[in-house]
Structure 1
Amino acid sequence: MKKKLSFLLVLVLALSTFLAACGGNEKSSEDNSGGDGESTEKTKQVLNLLESAEIPSMDSALATDAVSFNVMNNVFEGLYRLDENDKAVEGMVDGEPTISEDGKTWTFKIKDAKWSNGDPVTAKDFEYAWKKVLNPDTAAEYGYIMYDLKNAAKVHAGDLPVDQLGVKAIDDKTLEVQLETKVPYFKELLTFATFYPQNEAFVTEQGDQYGLEANTILYNGPFVLSEWKHEQSFQLKKNPDYWEKDVVKLEEVNFNIVKDTATGVNLYETGKADIAGLSAEFVDQYKEDENFKTRAETSVYFLRLNQENEVLANLDARKAIDMAWDKQGLADVLLNNGSIPANFLVPGEFVSSPDGNDFRETNGDLGTYDVEKAKEHWTKAKEALGKDKIELELLNYDSESSRKVGEYLKEQLESNLEGLSVSISQQPFKQKLDLETKGEYDFSFAGWGPDYPDPMTFVDMFVTDGSHNQMGYSNPEYDKLVEQAKTTLLDDLDARWQALLDAEKILFEDQAISPMYQAGVAYLEQPYVKDLYRHSFGADNSYKWAYIEK
């Protein structure tokens, strides 16, 4: 995604409401009764939330953003799902898998579970869905996340037929998965949305309508998407056919799509929303409120610098843009929600080396705010380009907070880089993602939330022609380090760790992106909301264990 995403993402919209991540959403917790052990049956089990954007996709093979991943995490279920500690626990899998001695062949048993139309969930549903993702005709941006599967990269590239992919339903209850090499975080990886099953007969019946409406989707998770009013609201209801339905306490989870912070706060104050994200001015207003909360996230926001653009193909121009604006001011004043300035890609307090060293602490800051050096780089860039006046367009989200960030960037860059004129294109979430995918922008406000617990979930975004590269960046040495970290170095974890550290350094030597901030979130949450689990990677939230206690 949480990419993520994209994943992806993510990614990515923590600005308009704290609910957003690789584009995003909110998060969850656990317990099957009230906190004091009393029954919650007398309390109306309805959770009312806010979302900052329409759901871009409900097809797990095509989704790339945190909004989609968050909803899918609660209405679908893969072999595993994340618990309150971000550990993989049983989903559709029944018991522990059988793993070969070399760690490359995993055999899973599928538990007795049903789709929402009554069909059994089978191993064939996983085989079909995974092959669908990697079929070149699907054009799945997140196909690369499956490249640990045997022959996955070659199948995705069209160099091998789909039936050569290392996934096979031995029978309805047995799924055999072959890997290119052992993967230390494989169970956690399998919680990600791209690995969800799909019912082939239903998907085929729906054709190009699959995933577009609430009734053109089958569900096997704790909830079903019962109502979807596009660009307005959507609703989840408890799934009566879910294998562990007795654990699920919530009867409904209602989402209103709200892009304005003031509107969200008003809904909270009037009892129509149980949680509301806060922008800077509201943080000052509510920081003494007993229901005011903050938390750190692992999402990182950055400016994509599209090297297909003549100006941004110039290294000095990219360095000038990165150095010319005050990230500390953005985090402390404009965001004011616990976000910290970023001069990096991989976030802090996310993952540690084999000997326990935090990735971020080891690599440190890889950039700086320096207006004088920015001006020097800018002068060199203009001389090389033969231009005195340069116009660039910033592709932005359409939320209120994103608009303020865009205006801040415009003012900073135009003030410090003589001759630069910045225009801003604010687009609805889905349209913005589409423009980035097509490369139809100059530079863009983007973000990424981790999809699994490893630096690779950030680093491999920017390999040459990667589906989430989206900005024409290419460096052979960077590609080599990423490939080694995915393959030959998996038996030498210290060397693998160093390769990932080195790759991140190359990214900033090339100034491929201009990092902005590692997200923090400030919000109001009613005290009766219990056990809503918030995850540090993958989907933002799980509502399976959440409940209302009044």
Structure 2
Amino acid sequence: MKNLLILITLFLLVFVSCDNQKSKNSFKEGEISINLGGEPRTLDPTLNSLSFGSIYMIHFFEGLTKRDIKDNVVPGMAESWDISKDGLKYTFHLRTNAKWSDGKSVIASDFEYALKRAANPKTAATYSHMLNVIKNARLIISGKAEVETLQVKALDDYTLEIILENPTPYFLEYISVSSPYFPVRKDIIETYGDNWSRNPETYIVNGPYIMTERKQDEKIVMEVNSNYYDKDYIVAEKINILIMDDSNTALAAMKNGDLQFSVIEAPMGEIPSLMKENYILQEPAYGIYFLEINSQKGVLTNKNIRKALSLAFDRNYIISNVTKMNQIPAGAFVSPNLKDYDGKDFRANGGNYIDIDNYQNNVKEAKKLMADAGYPNGENFPVLEIRTTHGYFTLICEATQDMYRSNLGIDILIKSEEYNATYQAMIQKDYDLARTGWTADFSDPMAMLNFFSKTSAVNHTGFESEEFNNLLEFASKTQNQKERMEALHKAEDILFDYMPVIPIIYRMDPFMISPKLKGAIFNPLGRYKFNYAYIEK
């Protein structure tokens, strides 16, 4: 009896010890924690305009098409579709077993409502230009036609017809990740207004996950949508999205086992050691980081000053001495790895607009441009301000500050803040220079150049060019691929003659990732998918 009591006591001690060990990061099977930056500006797919915001969207919603585990475009809410011989009419046949999270069927009119809502100027959807491929969308967005003329029509509950302005070979890829193409419920939005996407109780979705908890500036919790038709293939049953925008905080959480992935760039000083420990993910993206210039403000209205600022920016120094990573300096806007008409790289064919390997010559030219503009050696030049996010990009801006002071004799102030504050300042044109970025929504050079189109709501530089817009419009219509790409090259030429931006580096972010996180999908469009992610034991 005494021996039995001793064995029971030992068993209880071991059990309690194991339980205490487990509670440090008490993840259940099928549960992961990730970070997508600070508090999301919106969870409404129609209003989303950020690439990291799009990660939320593809987990909460699903479009007519989607991407599979190998990142191929496959049927989503539409189980099949027909395309007319002229490539203009798409007839989508929806799944009859597709449900909203409240159990109601997903029907064609949900898509019709969502697309017309996105096109409506009253909605002020930042990404409304993504609808430009649909017939009449441009006219509606610019206020020259009624919303009801948008060529999207629910033929019946499970058949949706979309007519395009011109044949668009990338359309099925485009709608797999572009959140304005995701369905939303008219009855929910009309009942709850702007608040519909802020609370788990009213956030009715059709994707693989539902929102089960939301604490402002703390976390958003996703769990598998029991009404999702493909739920049996989901691995990550629960995804905790921890709200944070400080790299050191994110790193500490990851080292402690409380976080498996973060879009926050790793602390600069920690990157070499983190790379050795496999805590760094560097995935090339169809994207770019740059300084946006307010070309309608003060001295920055002078094109030569804008060019001088770009020439005096040493991209190779940034990579060698600040980021210290395997990145590509940006001498243009369209990123590498997007194809030209001949199958070669569009960027390689087009070359750079800034000779990034002859910095001293660039500085000489920049000094001459400044002198010609009336500011020799920076004399009487006003102090400019760069707005940027904290951490990684603040260090880049500090290096920029030194470059401009030592080479041009001008002073730059740095304002570090959350990105939402920078974005609002850009909208209001309350900035001189602002660090921002752009990621393509589909694998085509036009997806990069669309940032500057006349219907773009994200271009706050003041750049406007009728010739540029005509070239983009021609490229969207022609079926001659050589002429199409030539038009896009010419459009980029016009862009860099005006110089509304200072390219920094092409996107290859030093994201932090736990070596134990497996199964996540990272694609060059920046739409990272965690449906199949798990923590390796």
Tell me the TM-score normalised to structure 2 length: 0.89
Separation in structure 2 between the aligned mates of residue 51 and residue 293 of structure 1, nearest angstrom: 14
**1:220 aligned to which of 176, 182, 206:** 206
**Mapping 1:62-73, distance limit 5 Å:** 62-73=47-58
In the superposition, relative to structure 1, how do residues 290 and 132 fare at CA in structure 2: closer, same or farther (>3 Å)? closer
Larger fraction in helix: 2
Q: 1:200 aligns with which of 179, 182, 186?
A: 186
- Would you say 1:382 and 2:384 are equivalent positions? no
After superposing the two structures, state which structure 1 stretch, 289-298 or 165-174, moved more.
289-298
Q: 2:100 matched to 1:110?
A: no
2:348 alignment counterpart: 361
Partner secondary structure for residue 227 of structure 1: strand
Length-normalised TM-score, structure 1? 0.87
For 2:53, the aligned partner's letter is S
Q: Does 1:478 align with 2:468?
A: yes
Cα distance, 1:534 vs. partner? 0.8
Alignment partner of 1:155 is 2:140: yes
Partner of 1:20: none
Counterpart of 1:5? none
Say which structure, 1 or 2, has more relative contact order (CA 8 Å, 6+ apart): 1
Runs of 4+ displaced beyond 6 Å: none
C-alpha contact 1:464 1:472 (8 A) present in aligned 2: no
SS at match of 2:91: strand
- For residues 341-387 of structure 1, the C-alpha deviation after alignment (integer angstroms, 9 at most, x for no partner) is 111111112x2123211111101111133212111111122359x97
Per the alignment, residue 391 of structure 1 pairs with: 383
Q: CA RMSD in A?
A: 2.0
Q: C-alpha deviations, 1:153-190, integer Å up to 9, x for none? A: 11112221111110000111110111111100010111
- 2:499 is the alignment partner of 1:505: no
- Distance in 1, matches of 2:531 and 2:144, equals 41
Q: Closer, same or farther in 2 for the Cα pair 1:374/1:401, shift >3 Å? A: same
User: Residue 296 of structure 1 aligns to which amino acid in structure 2?
Assistant: P
The 2-side partners of 1:209 and 1:523 are apart by: 32
- Segments of 5+ residues of structure 1 without an aligned counterpart are 1-41
Residue of structure 2 equivalent to 1:536: 524
Report the Cα offset of residue 74 of structure 1.
Answer: 0.6
Superposed, 1:146-545 pairs within 5 Å as 146-191=131-176, 192-276=178-262, 277-290=265-278, 292-349=280-337, 351-368=338-355, 369=359, 370-382=362-374, 388-397=380-389, 399-418=390-409, 420-464=410-454, 466-487=456-477, 489=478, 491-537=479-525, 539-545=526-532
Local SS of the residue matching 1:215: coil
Contact (CA 8 Å) 2:283, 2:524: kept in 1 or not? no
| Equivalent pair of 1:367/1:508 in contact (CA under 8 Å) | no
Distance 1:427 1:293, change over 3 A: closer
The number of residues matched between the two structures is 501
Amino acid at match of 1:379: A
Deviations for 1:308-365, whole angstroms, at most 9, x for unmatched residues?
112111011001100112111112221123322111111112x212321111110111
Deviations 1:204-250 (A, max 9, x none): 11113122333332111111122222222222111111110001121
Kindly tell me: are residues 464 and 168 of structure 1, through their superposed partners in 2, closer, same or farther at Cα, counting changes over 3 Å?
A: closer
Give the secondary structure class of the aligned counterpart of 1:170.
strand
Partner Cα separation in structure 2 for residue 333 and residue 214 of structure 1: 45
Task: Give, in whole Å, the separation in 1 of the partners of 2:327 and 2:228.
Answer: 38
CA spacing shift, 1:464–1:292, aligned 2, 3 Å? closer
Q: In structure 1, what is the Cα distance between the partners aligned to 2:391 and 2:514?
A: 24
Amino acid at match of 1:342: A
Structure label with greater radius of gyration: 2
Residues in 1 aligned to 2:215 and 2:240: alpha-carbon distance in whole angstroms: 11
Give structure 2 stretches of 5+ with no counterpart.
1-26
Q: 1:372 to 1:84 in 2, by over 3 A?
A: farther
- Do the aligned residues in 2 keep the contact of 1:337 with 1:520 (CA within 8 Å)? no
